Structure 1
């Protein structure tokens, strides 16, 4: 928030911005605990090919993906997102009542088709069953995408996605979650399609938005 205010000519430090956000109920995080189900069925673990090399030279070279949970009235819903590492732009997403491979394949399909079916691409994720499943790996094979996975239990191997979901939950979502699924889906999609990519300054991009930074790619 402090970066956005500076761009508008308002001098506000990061800590003051955080306090003002909290007072205005703009600073939030979902406090309910959540556990994913254990992986079951046939799966395979890919090597950590990315190896924390999060800086790439152009768009559509490396994408990262992850799944997070969102409280919506009386149940959890799940968001799968795909990020292009070049400018930290979100290029694919899907929402579902279940954190399974149907969810992650939908998000990947959106990304692949919206980005013009790029070639020589790597996809990095954690070792969740929704990424190790036969269904997801077959989609990667059809798209000729190389798979990379974080080491088990090491969230920093997928740090850009961790930071993205943290920003979503602390900057945007209401503290106690949403009142119903429709409200949750509409608000999260607004963050993904409008605010994050087009309006939010990103420190990685020198405080340009992901869309602005990507437009400058040579």
Structure 2
């Protein structure tokens, strides 16, 4: 509205005027990712996308995903056996850190995978 009438104003003045008038912006605030204090270590790619595995417990892979619980984010870490394509370990936490992935890795000690299902 102000730009239609050639009023020049910055976002601070616009924000103050909106506050005085009881108006709320419908624009979402920008999401800022956390910046780590250190760089991540480059891990070599041993599989080179060769996922054909001939025996159980030869190759495990894992992933971490976030799940909205209604009030906050939870994180699920899963370790899969590539032969059986089934989970051999998993863990949930409210913080996506190395403790979460280690819990999924050590779940029930050494998992036994049955290729029959």
Counterpart residue number, 2:48: 51
Specify whether residues 215 and 96 from structure 1 end up closer, same or farther in structure 2 by C-alpha distance, changes over 3 A only. Answer: same
- CA distance in structure 2 between the aligned counterparts of 1:96 and 1:36, rounded to whole angstroms: 19
Secondary structure at the counterpart of residue 90 of structure 1: strand
Alignment of 1:88-107 (within 5 A): 88-107=85-104
| Contact 2:76 2:93 (C-alpha < 8 Å) held by counterparts | yes
Query: Residue 37 and residue 107 in structure 1: after superposition, are their counterparts in 2 closer, same or farther (change >3 A)?
Result: farther
For residue 66 of structure 2, the aligned residue among 60, 65, 69 is: 69
TM-score, structure 1 length as denominator?
0.36
Indicate the residue corresponding to 2:83 in structure 1: 86
- Give the distance between the partners of 2:103 and 2:33, measured in 1 at CA: 19
Cα RMSD of the aligned pairs, angstroms, is 2.6
- Any conservation in 1 of the 2:52–2:83 contact (CA below 8 Å)? yes
SS in structure 2 of the partner of residue 215 of structure 1: coil
Structure 1 residue 84, shift from structure 2 partner: 0.2
**Structure-2 residue corresponding to 1:115:** 111
Q: How far is the alpha carbon of 1:46 from its aligned partner?
A: 1.6
CA contact (8 A) 2:62 2:80 kept: yes
- How far residue 37 of structure 1 moved from its aligned partner, in angstroms, is 3.9
In the TM superposition, residue 76 of structure 1 has moved relative to its aligned partner by 0.4
Structure 2 residue matching 1:110: 3-state secondary structure: coil
Higher RCO, Cα 8 Å, sep 6+: 1
Deviations 1:56-80 (A, max 9, x none): 0010000001100001011100000
Unaligned runs of 5+ in 2: 1-30
Give how far 1:36 is off: 6.4
Q: Which runs of 5+ in 1 are unaligned?
A: 1-33, 117-209
When Rg is computed on C-alpha atoms for both structures, the one with the higher figure is 2
